[in-house]
Homo-oligomer: A and B are copies of this chain.
Amino acid sequence: MELLKQKILAEGRVVGDGILKVDGFLNHQIDVELVSAMGKEIYERFKNDGVTKILTIEASGIGLAVMAAQYFGCKVLFAKKSRTTNMGNADLYVSKAYSFTHQNENTVLVSKKYIQPGEKLLIVDDFLAHGEASRALLDIARQAGAEVAGVAIAIEKGFQGGGDEMRREGINLYSLAIVDSMDEGKIIFREN
């Protein structure tokens, strides 16, 4: 998505080892107009896939998920993260996601009440790197007996490989921008 790529080039900052900071418009401050356009782009890609609900994960996925949901006319369900390993609660679907950025493992929790078998979920998140968070959401969808229409991501860090691995597995993954390299701070996008 050209508008997003231009924004990343204008305002994104490469820091340290493989971190792309976009906190001016995506995951601290939210440029609502841009994120709405991103939600529309996701809608255009998945509008014929029978999406019944958008599944995302707190906190940075929520803004984009809500914007996309406006176009789909569906609800959003955001998974909660907890560092408590065992909630011991039968009413929850539970999965795990290791965060390479924060170097910790999060427990990912969704109330069973809010995913019905036969539902068709679209998974939405702000970033995909190794794919840990998206895989936790896919795992929860599987546990719930729900179908997954696809995975929609704002920014994929292509050089970390998680996205291509998911594509090889046949997952319908769509990223609005794929960064294939950030060596020496220079951001190179994958061609469409």
Closest to A114 in B: B29
> Assuming A58-B59, A78-B59, is B66 touching A28 (CB within 8 A)?
no
Question: What number of A residues sit within 8 Å (CB to CB) of B?
Answer: 29
| A36 with B78: CB separation less than 8 A | no
Where chain A touches its partner, the secondary structure class is: mixed
> Assuming A32-B66, A62-B63, A63-B62, is B23 touching A111 (CB within 8 A)?
yes
The segment from A69-77, A157-165, A168-176 found at the interface with B is A69-77
State how many copies of this chain the complex holds. Answer: 2
Most buried by B among A36, A75, A77: A75
A31 at the interface (CB under 8 A from B): yes
A67 at the interface (CB under 8 A from B): yes
**What are the 7 closest A-B residue pairs judged by CB atoms, nearest first?**
A58-B59, A59-B59, A30-B76, A62-B62, A32-B69, A29-B114, A29-B77
